Amino acid sequence: MFPESEYERVYTGSLINVQFLQTTLQDDGINSITRDDMKSGMMAGFGGGVPNHVQLFVQKKDLETALSIIKKNVS
């Protein structure tokens, strides 16, 4: 059984969109982390993941505010 994470995925998209959202969230004091399986797979020496499929995560305590900010900035 895996331990429950303190992070929740709030967005998946291109690296450019994720970087924009990270900056926007940071401006409101919300820290975030990303996960790029394609890049991780290439660095490890094997292919994996989907191009332009970067995941953005925030802490669960910031989830509601982050989703509101993302909704305003993503069409």
Task: Report pTM.
Answer: 0.77
CA dihedral 30, 19, 24, 65 (to 10 degrees): -50
Tokens matching residue 28: 């409101």
**What is the architecture of the domain spanning 7-62?**
2-Layer Sandwich (3.30)
- Structural domain boundaries in the chain: 7-62
The residue ranking higher by pLDDT, 22 or 2, is 22
pLDDT one-digit tens code per residue, 25-74: 999 999 999 988 645 444 445 655 556 689 999 999 999 999 999 999 98
Q: Judge contact between 59 and 6, C-beta under 8 A.
A: yes
pLDDT in the model for residue 44: 44
